[in-house]
C-alpha cells in the first residue's frame, strides 16, 4: 500500500512539473474537436538537428583520433575482448550451468549440486462434477420422443429436500402435513445417497494393486519416495 502511495505521489509530482502550451486561451478537448496544431518552425528544427549530428560526429572523430595517438583511450567495449574466466568465479566461466561445478584447487572430481524435483501436476478437479455438461458422465434417459434428458439434479442448496434441484412451492395442505411429520431443527436427510454407509467411493480394480487397511500406510510407486502415515491413536 505504501509503495503504491509513493508511486502515486511521485507520478503526480512528475505530471505537475510539466509545462503546458495552453496556459492562456482555451484548452482543447479531443473528445469533441480539437484544432490541428502544425509545427511552424520545422526548418529551424531541422537545422538544429543537423547541427547536433555534426557535433556528435565531431566528438566521435575526436575520440578516434585520441585513440590512435594514446593507447590509454582504447577502451575495450567489444565483446571479443571480454574475459570472464575468473579463478574465483566458477559459475561464470563462459559455460552453461550443467548442475555441477569443478574447483581444481580443492577437489579432484566435479561436485554435483541437486535441486528438488518440482511437482508439476496441474491443478485438477474431477470434471465429472460438472454434471450435465460432460456428456460422457451425465445420467440420462431417452424419452418416447427420443430426446435425451438429464435425470439427476445438479444442485442442492438447502437442507429441506436434499434431492431437489430447487425448493418446491408447497401447498397449504402440504405445509400442514409437513409441520405434522417433520421434526424441529435440521430435518432428516431423505436422500438415498446418504443412507447407511453410502458416502464411500470405490476404487476401480486397476487402482488397487495392493490392499490397505484403515490403520496401515501406503507405499509409493510414483517417481517420488513413499510417505508414511502417522499411527492412528489417541492423545
Partner 1 sequence: MHKYLLIICLLTSNVVFAQIPEDAKRYSFYPQGGTARNIAIGGAMGSLGGDINATFVNPAGLGLFKTKEVVLTPAFAFNNNKSTYRTTLEKNKLNNFNLGTTGFVWAYNNRYKKSSSAFSLALTQTADFNNTVKYNGLNNFSSMAEQFAEEMVTVNINDVLSTNSPVAYGAAPAFYTFLIDTVSSGGNLTVKPATGFILDANEALKQEYTKTTKGGIYELALGFAYNTNDKWLFGGTIAMPIVNYKSTTTFKESDTSLKTSNFFNNFVYTDDFTTKGIGLNGKFGVIYRPKEYVRIGLAVHTPMFLFLKDTRETNLSTALENPVNTYTTSSKTFTNNVKGESKYIQSTPFKAMLSGSYVFREVENVKRQKAFITADVEYVHHKGSRFGSDNEEPTEDEKAYFKDLNNVVKGYYKGNFNFRVGGELKFNILMARLGFAYYGNPYKEAELKANRMILSGGLGYRHKGIFVDLTYAHSFNKDVDFAYRLADKANTYATVKNQRGNVVATLGFKF
* Alpha carbon distance 142, 170 (integer Å): 30
Q: How many chain residues bind partner 1 (CB under 8 A)?
A: 104
**Between residues 95 and 158, which has the closer beta carbon with respect to partner 1?**
158
Pick one of 38, 76, 98, 106: the residue that binds partner 1 (CB under 8 A): 38
Pick one of 78, 119, 146, 181: the residue that binds partner 1 (CB under 8 A): 119
Pick one of 30, 77, 79, 184: the residue that binds partner 1 (CB under 8 A): 30
20 binds partner 1 (CB under 8 A): yes
Q: Cell digits for 9?
A: 505521489
> 162 burial class (0-12, 13-18, 19+ CB within 10 angstroms)?
middle
**Between residues 110 and 220, which has the closer beta carbon with respect to partner 1?**
220
Q: Cell digits for 199?
A: 458416502
**Between residues 88 and 203, which has the closer beta carbon with respect to partner 1?**
203
Pick one of 71, 155, 171, 180: the residue that binds partner 1 (CB under 8 A): 155
* Angle in degrees, CA 56, 60, 63, rounded to 5: 140
**Between residues 42 and 105, which has the closer beta carbon with respect to partner 1?**
42
With CB under 8 A as the contact rule, which of the stretches 43-51, 62-70, 91-99, 194-202 interacts with partner 1? 194-202
204 binds partner 1 (CB under 8 A): yes
DSSP state, residue 166: S
CB of 232 to partner 1, least distance (A): 6
* Angle in degrees, CA 133, 137, 138, rounded to 5: 60
Residues 6+ apart with CB under 8 A from 163: 153, 156, 190, 191, 192
Amino acid at each position: 500500500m505504501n509503495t503504491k502511495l509513493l508511486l502515486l505521489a511521485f507520478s503526480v509530482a512528475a505530471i505537475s512539473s510539466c509545462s503546458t502550451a495552453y496556459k492562456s486561451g482555451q484548452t482543447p478537448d479531443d473528445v469533441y474537436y480539437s484544432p490541428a496544431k502544425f509545427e511552424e518552425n520545422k526548418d529551424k528544427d531541422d537545422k538544429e538537428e543537423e547541427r547536433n549530428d555534426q557535433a556528435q560526429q565531431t566528438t566521435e572523430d575526436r575520440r578516434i583520433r585520441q585513440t590512435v595517438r594514446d593507447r590509454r583511450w582504447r577502451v575495450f567495449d567489444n565483446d571479443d575482448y571480454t574475459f570472464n574466466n575468473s579463478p574465483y568465479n566458477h559459475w561464470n566461466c563462459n559455460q552453461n550451468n550443467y548442475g555441477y561445478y569443478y574447483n581444481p584447487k580443492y577437489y579432484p572430481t566435479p561436485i554435483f549440486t541437486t535441486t528438488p524435483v518440482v511437482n508439476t501436476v496441474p491443478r485438477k478437479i474431477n470434471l465429472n462434477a460438472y454434471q450435465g455438461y460432460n456428456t460422457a458422465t451425465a445420467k440420462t434417459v431417452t424419452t418416447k420422443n427420443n430426446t435425451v434428458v438429464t435425470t439427476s439434479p445438479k444442485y442442492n442448496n438447502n437442507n429441506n429436500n436434499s434431492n431437489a434441484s430447487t425448493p418446491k412451492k408447497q401447498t397449504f395442505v402440504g405445509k400442514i402435513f409437513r409441520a405434522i411429520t417433520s421434526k424441529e431443527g435440521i430435518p432428516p436427510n431423505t436422500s438415498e445417497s446418504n443412507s447407511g454407509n453410502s458416502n464411500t467411493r470405490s476404487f476401480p480394480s486397476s487402482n488397487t494393486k495392493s490392499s490397505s487397511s484403515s490403520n496401515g500406510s501406503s507405499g509409493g510407486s510414483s517417481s517420488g519416495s513413499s510417505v508414511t502415515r502417522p499411527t492412528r491413536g489417541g492423545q
